[in-house]
Amino acid sequence: MEKGNVPIWKWIVPLIAILLLFSIMPDLSYAKSNNNGQQSSSIKPCIGNASYHVENNDVGNESVNLRTASKLIERWLSCKQARQFKLEALAPSKYDEETFEIKPGPGQHITISGSSTSALLMGWNWYLKYVAHANISLTGEQLDLPKKLPLPEKTIQRHANVDNRFALNDTDEGYTDPYEDWGYWERKIDVLAAHGINEVLVYPGTEAVFQKTFEEFGYSASEMRDWIPSPAHQPWWLLQNLSGYPSPIPQSVIDKRAKLGKKIADRLRDLGMTPVFPGYHGIVPFEFEEKNPGANIVPQGTYHRFTQPDWLDPTNKLYPKVAKAFYKNQSELFGDSSMYKMDLLHEGGKAGNVDIGDASKAVQDALEEAHPKATWAILGWHSNPLPETIDAVDKDKVLVLDGISERSSAKDREKDWDGTPYAFGTIWNFGGPYKHGS
């Protein structure tokens, strides 16, 4: 992992190791679009086996999935254009960093190779931007490409110089896409993959994890629906800022989002990206101690007049039981991951009679028990992570996602976080509703 004053992602400066929050975006079509954002009728999806641009039906290796890379390309280009690319896998062991290579040939083909699926797709996007002068972004695309694509003049090779290329802040889900469907997410994932992102925060479906978990601790499905907020407010629920707002969430929404979360996680894995799920840091529904005698609960009060979830002391004997159930249900719904995002006492939470260092250690231990060697991702935000947390945890298994690198207070992150690995980043425009920097 990269720390300190590392050089920036050589591929595209704004996208390195950055914590992204994207503005509200239109649901644009794939391939060529007209000015109204409608797909051109001349673009037909490729039919049949995609092996025409995968050497000898080669599927790649453990690090490179040529099949899913070729399918992504087909979602954006016409068949005739897609078939001009020849995709190959580079042996990761030969490179110190993730690498892509673009070469002319054989014949009129453009050969793109990568040491990971992420690197390969970044190479394809690099070709589009710098050789073919096209563009793919979250807010639109310009794919006015000739039927015969231009060959690069020479071999192009680029290397990644950061390992963690993380996308999406917690509040992206609330500001940008709380009610979007799979079509929106498929396009969004494609764009992130094409820009070299390899870790993506996944919130859809988390409400189902909480519902299943706390049904094991005395709550009915209806009680959980009263406590779980609507999708537009769930980021602040998971940050322990609010609950049950604005009204009970329908079961149909919970079920629908669980299916969406599974599709998102599966697609990310197919493209060599890590789905980053919420971890469990102790938030519980109200009256937990009445239903579970012996629990040590710290009420959190209100946050800007919103009622905050209660906090179960992670050093209490009941915490590891809840955490075990949470991670079990999460894995059953979405599969496992190697990175989990959670913040302890975000934005002034109340510790009560709980030692923060001991609580932080207990949270990390529960994650380690469920997912050995997993990384705990924490948002770098004002006083978060707390110094007591940094002092107590195994720093080698933590990644701080700096959300305010542009602030004057962010002068020495090595000192601020005592050498904890971190990703340089910011939250762009707070989702779009405010002026930049507000």
CATH number at residue 137: 3.30.379.10
The side-by-side arrangement of strands in the sheet containing 375-380 is 166-167, 199-201, 274-278, 339-341, 375-380, 398-402, 422-423
Same domain, residue pair 275 and 424: yes
Same domain, residue pair 122 and 173: no
- 8-42: burial string, b at 16+ Cβ within 10 Å, e else: ebebeeebbbbbbbbeebeebbbbbbeeeeeeeee
pLDDT average per 10 residues of sequence, the chain (438 residues) = 42 38 36 38 46 53 91 96 96 90 96 97 98 96 96 97 94 92 98 98 98 98 98 96 95 98 98 98 98 98 95 98 98 98 92 98 98 97 94 98 85 93 82 46
Same domain, residue pair 286 and 375: yes
Last residue of a domain, one of 141, 159, 177: 159
Single pTM value for the model: 0.87
Last residue of a domain, one of 159, 178, 194: 159
Structure tokens at 59: 């599927």
Structural domain tally of the chain? 2
With the CA atoms of 133, 135, 141 and 142 taken in that order, what torsion angle do they form, in degrees rounded to the nearest 10?
A: -10
Last residue of a domain, one of 124, 159, 194: 159
Provide the pLDDT for residue 4: 45
Taking each continuous run of H as one helix and of E as one strand, the counts in the chain are 14, 18
Q: Residue 119: which domain range?
A: 48-159
CATH of the domain at 282: 3.20.20.80
Q: Is residue 5 part of a domain?
A: no
Q: Is residue 101 part of a domain?
A: yes
Q: Is residue 36 part of a domain?
A: no
Provide the pLDDT for residue 62: 82
C-alpha 24/C-alpha 149 separation (Å) is 32
Same domain, residue pair 205 and 344: yes
Provide the pLDDT for residue 47: 52
Provide the pLDDT for residue 15: 38
Q: Is residue 153 part of a domain?
A: yes
Q: Is residue 42 part of a domain?
A: no
Same domain, residue pair 140 and 185: no
Q: Is residue 1 part of a domain?
A: no
Q: Contact 24/175 with Cβ under 8 angstroms? A: yes
Same domain, residue pair 327 and 391: yes
Same domain, residue pair 426 and 375: yes
Same domain, residue pair 345 and 423: yes
Same domain, residue pair 207 and 143: no
Same domain, residue pair 411 and 292: yes
Same domain, residue pair 147 and 266: no
How buried is 132 (Cβ within 10 angstroms: 0-12 exposed, 13-18 middle, 19+ buried)?
A: middle
Provide the pLDDT for residue 23: 33
Q: Indicate the residue type of 356.
A: I
The torsion region of residue 123 among left (phi > 0), alpha (psi -120 to 50) and beta comes to alpha
Same domain, residue pair 134 and 186: no
Q: Is residue 72 part of a domain?
A: yes
Q: Which residue has the tokens 């529904």?
A: 285
Q: Contact 122/130 with Cβ under 8 angstroms? A: no
Max distance between CA atoms of the chain, in angstroms, equals 73
Q: Is residue 28 part of a domain?
A: no
